Amino acid sequence: MITERQDIEKIENINAIITDIKSKISNKDYEVLDSHEYTKPLKYLHLIVNDLNIYLLPVKSHIDGYFHYKDYKEFKAPFIVMNNVRFSSFTGFLFDENSLAHEVQHYLDYKKNIPKTFDVKNMLKPEGGINPAYYNDPNEWSAYVIQYLRQYIQSVKLANLPEHFMTFYKDFFKKTNVPQYYRQLTHDNRRKFQKYLYQFHQKLLARK
């Protein structure tokens, strides 16, 4: 038996925040700041949604974003930093929305006083690569599951939702970035993830 997760409601909350972020960017409701943390001066954007600070940086990094609940250098908490931000004269500022959704879920967990359970100092293995414990940590589990469930909703129209679970299951793995994450899960978490997907599928069917 699994606990009711209210995943669709969580995704709707995340989408509302992301919509506010996009709206502020579109309306130029942000400030341009100069960072001196890098070799060369760097300009980046800062905007606020509710009490959440969003920092958009054009820094190339293998980490798209991160959330923190304490002030860090020039970043005021609670904050989300998004790296790899690009600017297009046609579409404006571009960043990975899936990664942003992940970080917003961390923020929502923080607002519910859910304690952090993973020390980022242990993220990397001594021999290199990501420590599997990171992917199986309860906080990261919460954020990754919501990230991929939302990614599926964003890519599939409800009218085209497969009726049968196994068809949906295969479609989910095909249309999201979940396979790489799934491979890092423990056996128990894989089974739990499958149960969550079943519950999620049932909820979507009810809305179809």
Intra-chain end-to-end CA distance of the chain, in Å: 25
Q: Is residue 189 part of a domain?
A: yes
Q: CB under 8 Å, gap of 24 or more: what pairs does 31-37 form?
A: 33/74, 35/74, 37/73, 37/74
Q: Using the 8-state DSSP alphabet, how is residue 74 labeled? A: T
Reported as a pLDDT band with limits 50, 70 and 90, residue 2 is very low
Closest by alpha carbon to 196, among 15, 7, 10?
7
Angstrom distance (rounded) from CA 179 to CA 151: 13
Reported as a pLDDT band with limits 50, 70 and 90, residue 32 is very high
**Dihedral sign for Cα atoms in the order 37, 38, 42, 46:** negative
Q: Is residue 146 part of a domain?
A: yes
Q: Is residue 180 part of a domain?
A: yes
Same domain, 122 and 195: yes
Same domain, 58 and 26: yes
The pLDDT score that the predictor gives to residue 90 is 74
Same domain, 83 and 123: no
Angstrom distance (rounded) from CA 28 to CA 62: 27
Same domain, 19 and 76: yes
Same domain, 120 and 84: no
Same domain, 120 and 88: no
Same domain, 84 and 163: no
Q: Domain tally for the chain?
A: 2
Q: Is residue 132 part of a domain?
A: yes
Average confidence score pLDDT of the chain:
91
Q: Is residue 101 part of a domain?
A: no
Q: Is residue 39 part of a domain?
A: yes
Q: What is the tens place of the pLDDT at every residue in 160-191?
A: 999 999 999 999 999 999 999 999 999 999 99
The pLDDT score that the predictor gives to residue 39 is 65
- Domain of residue 34, residue span: 10-96
Same domain, 69 and 121: no
The length of the chain in residues reads 208
What percent of the chain lies above the pLDDT cut of 70? 93
Would you say 142 and 163 are in contact if contact means Cβ atoms under 8 Å apart? no
Residue 83 amino acid letter: N
Helices (H) and strands (E) in the chain, counts: 7, 7
* Average pLDDT rounded to a whole number, residues 57-81: 94
Name residue, tokens 């242990």: 122
Secondary structure E strands in 59-132: 65-68, 79-82, 86-88, 92-94
Same domain, 87 and 119: no
